[in-house]
Structure 1
Amino acid sequence: MSNQSTGNRGMVVALAGMGVNLCLGVLYSWGAFQGVLVVEPLNWTSTQSQIPYMIACFIFAVSMVPGGRLQDRIGPRTVIIAAGVLALIGMVLSGFLITPVGLSISFGIVFGLAMGFGYAAPTPAAVKWFGPHKRGLISGIVVSGFGLAGVYVAPLSRYLLAQFGLANTFIILGIAYGIIIILLAQLISNPPAGYIPEPPPEHLASKFAAKAKGLVVDWDYKQMMKTPQFYGLWGMFCIGTFAGLLIIGQLRRIGIEQAALNDGLAFWLISMYAVFNWGGRIGCGIIADKLGFRNTLVAMFILQVAVFALFSTFVTAVPLFIATALVAFAFGGMLTIFPAITANYFGVKNLGVNYGLVFTAWGGGGVFGPLVGGLVRDATGTFGVAYTISAVLSVLGIILAVTMKAPKDIQEEEQLTASS
């Protein structure tokens, strides 16, 4: 197979994976559904409205581990088909179970499993088709679908909610997503046995020499979990996603209550978050390939500290939109950098399960971010304390990123990146 044909095949896998994530990314527009749950006739509390979302985040993250392990063993296609079936069942059931317990089961558990299996398989499959000089970009393309989903899900959900109500909206989306995911699964596969990705071009050969060597350093999950790097990555990922997920789950309400946005602008705030979330995934992937993962992470955490320290002062539309865009860009970047850095640190052979374990940190952020946001809002009437907590945690993220080093076997990689 020629380099051009393998590159084309790899890009098909990456784009199909992006399409799968465009369906599963309905999670990032939970604010649209949350806005219906907290008003008449349902009148859920802020905390209640976050419970199905929190459970979905947790199940999503935890199921990444078995999903990634299955991807490594049997390939991505069967895993993604299972995700499509679970997505259909979970969303359709949600249309019939609109209670805190019912949605916690149907959306939280069943659809959460769909996300975990569907998200676990495409990124490792796509990354395996490309050399280390393209891992940031390819990871960004695949995971960008999850972030970009809010661009269409928010306005689409608003239309469906107005025309058909909450129950039928869940059902319509579930049927559509299930069919699309199953079809896209047919385009996604791992490279054949013995496949060697295209090496970096000559002008980048010295920079990526250690990374190319690192391809044979294929740590299994037991070896990885004995390294301090795994726990450092886990901590940074949890901190980085805490802030972003706190905002996503409450974004519509933040816009209405904090900046007096009308309902239409509040929905556009969700869509704008999705655009910059997508931009962060692509942009930070490109930046990390050029500047190194550590430098990029430090910059992202500094951005989060600055924005969240001031977030409660943004009480009109323009500054709130700008601040939300910055948070979304940083959050999106986290979802690109961590699969790529996991591949670079621990190899690609077991990337599915290895990144699945790292990704459980996202579940930690997904549980505690929305929970803190809901509890703070119910207790104080605002989200100010939650913003402060996000800023303080991001300072810790800076410290972890600055002190992070590659595993001993491939520390030369960090030196090459820093000196280039």
Structure 2
Amino acid sequence: MSDPGFFSKERIIASPGYNRWLIPPAALSVHLCIGQAYAFSVFNEPLTRIVGVTQSTPDDWKLTSVGWIFSLAIVFLGISAAFGGKWLEKVGPRTTMFASACCFGGGFLVSALGIWLHQIWLIYLGYGVIGGIGLGLGYVSPVSTLLKWFPDRRGMATGMAIMGFGGGALIGAPASVALMDYFKTATSTGLTETFLVMGVVYFISMMLGALTIRIPREGWKPEGWTPPVTQSRMVTSNHVHIDQALKTPQFYMLWLILCLNVTAGIGVLGQASVMIQEMFQGTVTALAAAGFVGLLSIFNMGGRFIWASVSDYIGRKMTYTLFFFAGALLYALVPTLGQSGNIVLFIACYALIMSMYGGGFSTIPAYLADVFGTRYVGGIHGRLLTAWATAGVLGPVLVNYLREYQIAQGVPKADAYTITMYIMAGLLVLGFAINALMHPVHEKHHMNDEEPNKGLSPA
């Protein structure tokens, strides 16, 4: 029998006695890197003055053109996760993480060339397409592995990794600014060199995760832990094949649940700085608004770990019930708080909203494992992330275009978010109703180890 390749699934099966707590750091080394995507906005303004250096010139790119870089990255994150999730189950997390490191790091290098040549299509290709593929592969690669290592704490395990994605901006933003300051000159913004350095550093960090990741042996379980005999109705001990999952109503209900939760949060997250300055004009400075955005990032990150861990005790369905119920109330309350000038309660509302936004990302993999089993959860999760790609376009469009329309109609900027907030609340009410209808997958979709073809019939 030939020796398995270095990147093969067989090579990374853990030896007996392997410490499973070494897996979360491997996952974090990837997610903390790709989480830089949330900090990409720090490049937006410098990218509009590549030619002018200190200020934009007619030859420079417009902010609207630059804005498409992030949108493309999120779209290709969803697309690559949808296709890469199934590939992950076949080749294992090491190969997938390696591919992610090559794409994400390589995307920065291609973008650096685009900046140097002042060709924005190269940045679209580099960070948007190639980097976006790296985002998707990196996002799904550790999730199913963590779920298999922590069957007793599914929510906490995925929360640890996905917390890293939410917190990647806390490292990426100041690092990006520091590098641009270091490399800038009288004739350069320093962006080319910054992208080159970040591409290399992120590749190395992500490779550390790829080299240290391990998967448990078939039938492994934590020492001293036995699967509960009586399980919740919403937690199955069976497995559903990736392709069969698409034939169940539960997949599309969970798709809508994630899409609605993300749509409500991501649009506001992208306009948080502008929104608080316009709603509290004369009170909140640009510096204070930046602090507000940083606070939201902390709650976004913390919510990913805390809410996912809480879901281990109250259940995934109940956790999303809280997200949708409390979120709808908070969004409906925001316009009133803005008009009353109560900035403390306004900030508190958005901090809670962002914690539930982040919690939605980290809780959904465990929800999928509860409903479809753990065997193919990586692939199913990848396909579900198309909901994120959809929301990544839908959320900002709702917030930005409704705001522009209302301002054009003569609505004061401070009041231009009122209808948007009520629409977001309505989306969450819809999510509440869909989540309430969630029920276990019919047994006809379950796989049977003794009958491999069961659960794969065209039902």
* Bin of the TM-score, shorter chain as denominator length: 0.7 to 0.9
Cα distance between partner residues in 1 of 2:286 and 2:160: 31
Measured at CA, do residues 205 and 228 of structure 1 come closer, stay the same or move farther in structure 2, by a change above 3 Å? same
Partner of 1:196: 220
Measured at CA, do residues 293 and 15 of structure 1 come closer, stay the same or move farther in structure 2, by a change above 3 Å? same
Per-residue CA distance 1:219-245 (angstroms, 9 max, x = gap): 112211111111100001000111222
Are positions 1:27 and 2:37 aligned together?
yes
State which of 422, 437, 446 in structure 2 corresponds to 1:403: 437
Partner of 2:243: 222
Measured at CA, do residues 152 and 22 of structure 1 come closer, stay the same or move farther in structure 2, by a change above 3 Å? same
Instruction: Say whether the 8 Å CA contact 2:266–2:396 is kept in structure 1.
Output: yes
Cα distance between partner residues in 2 of 1:256 and 1:160: 28
Instruction: Say whether the 8 Å CA contact 2:14–2:216 is kept in structure 1.
Output: no
Bigger Rg, which one: 2
Partner of 1:418: none
3-state DSSP of counterpart to 1:117: helix
The structure richer in helix per residue is 1
Superposed CA RMSD = 3.0
Instruction: Say whether the 8 Å CA contact 1:239–1:365 is kept in structure 2.
Output: yes
Are positions 1:139 and 2:143 aligned together?
no
Partner of 1:359: 385
Cα distance between partner residues in 1 of 2:271 and 2:320: 25
Instruction: Say whether the 8 Å CA contact 1:151–1:270 is kept in structure 2.
Output: no
Are positions 1:336 and 2:355 aligned together?
no
State which of 307, 323, 328 in structure 2 corresponds to 1:300: 323
Using the TM superposition, give the Cα deviation of residue 246 of structure 1 relative to its aligned residue in structure 2, in angstroms.
1.1
Cα distance between partner residues in 1 of 2:275 and 2:295: 14
Cα distance between partner residues in 2 of 1:34 and 1:371: 18
Instruction: Say whether the 8 Å CA contact 1:32–1:267 is kept in structure 2.
Output: no
Measured at CA, do residues 210 and 242 of structure 1 come closer, stay the same or move farther in structure 2, by a change above 3 Å? closer
Cα distance between partner residues in 2 of 1:280 and 1:329: 4
Cα distance between partner residues in 2 of 1:231 and 1:388: 25
Are positions 1:54 and 2:71 aligned together?
yes
Partner of 1:346: 372
Which runs of structure 2 are paired with 1:9-408 in the superposition (5 Å)?
10-36=20-46, 40-41=55-56, 47-97=64-114, 101-131=121-151, 133-163=152-182, 164=184, 165=189, 166-192=191-217, 194-198=218-222, 201=225, 205-208=228-231, 214-215=236-237, 217-260=238-281, 261-312=284-335, 313-314=337-338, 318-381=344-407, 382=413, 384=417, 385-408=419-442
Using the TM superposition, give the Cα deviation of residue 44 of structure 1 relative to its aligned residue in structure 2, in angstroms.
6.4
Measured at CA, do residues 295 and 252 of structure 1 come closer, stay the same or move farther in structure 2, by a change above 3 Å? same
Amino acid at match of 1:356: G
Cα distance between partner residues in 2 of 1:160 and 1:49: 20
Instruction: Say whether the 8 Å CA contact 1:244–1:328 is kept in structure 2.
Output: yes
Q: Higher relative CO (CA 8 A, sep ≥ 6), structure 1 or 2?
A: 1
Give ranges in structure 2 of 5+ residues lacking alignment: 1-12, 50-54, 408-412, 445-459
TM-score, normalised relative to structure 1:
0.86
Instruction: Say whether the 8 Å CA contact 1:14–1:123 is kept in structure 2.
Output: no
Instruction: Say whether the 8 Å CA contact 1:150–1:275 is kept in structure 2.
Output: no
- Taking only the aligned residue pairs, the percentage that are identical comes to 26
Amino acid at match of 1:93: V
Instruction: Say whether the 8 Å CA contact 2:234–2:440 is kept in structure 1.
Output: no
3-state DSSP of counterpart to 2:206: helix
Instruction: Say whether the 8 Å CA contact 1:252–1:266 is kept in structure 2.
Output: yes
Cα distance between partner residues in 2 of 1:308 and 1:100: 37
Measured at CA, do residues 362 and 16 of structure 1 come closer, stay the same or move farther in structure 2, by a change above 3 Å? same
Per-residue CA distance 1:286-338 (angstroms, 9 max, x = gap): 21111111111011112221222233443675444323311210111111111
Cα distance between partner residues in 2 of 1:141 and 1:86: 23
Cα distance between partner residues in 2 of 1:53 and 1:2: 37
Amino acid at match of 1:33: F
Cα distance between partner residues in 2 of 1:153 and 1:367: 23
Amino acid at match of 2:264: A
Cα distance between partner residues in 2 of 1:230 and 1:135: 19
Instruction: Say whether the 8 Å CA contact 1:86–1:113 is kept in structure 2.
Output: yes
Cα distance between partner residues in 1 of 2:141 and 2:26: 11
Amino acid at match of 1:354: I
Give ranges in structure 1 of 5+ residues lacking alignment: 411-420
Number of residues of Structure 1 aligned to a counterpart in Structure 2:
404
Cα distance between partner residues in 1 of 2:321 and 2:334: 20
3-state DSSP of counterpart to 2:247: coil
Instruction: Say whether the 8 Å CA contact 2:97–2:137 is kept in structure 1.
Output: yes
Measured at CA, do residues 138 and 60 of structure 1 come closer, stay the same or move farther in structure 2, by a change above 3 Å? same
Using the TM superposition, give the Cα deviation of residue 348 of structure 1 relative to its aligned residue in structure 2, in angstroms.
1.4
Per-residue CA distance 1:80-125 (angstroms, 9 max, x = gap): 1111111112123323435664433222111110101111111111
TM-score, normalised relative to structure 2:
0.79
- Once the two structures are overlaid, the 10-residue window that deviates more, 148-157 or 43-52, is 43-52
Partner of 1:413: none
3-state DSSP of counterpart to 1:97: helix
Partner of 2:17: 5
3-state DSSP of counterpart to 2:149: coil
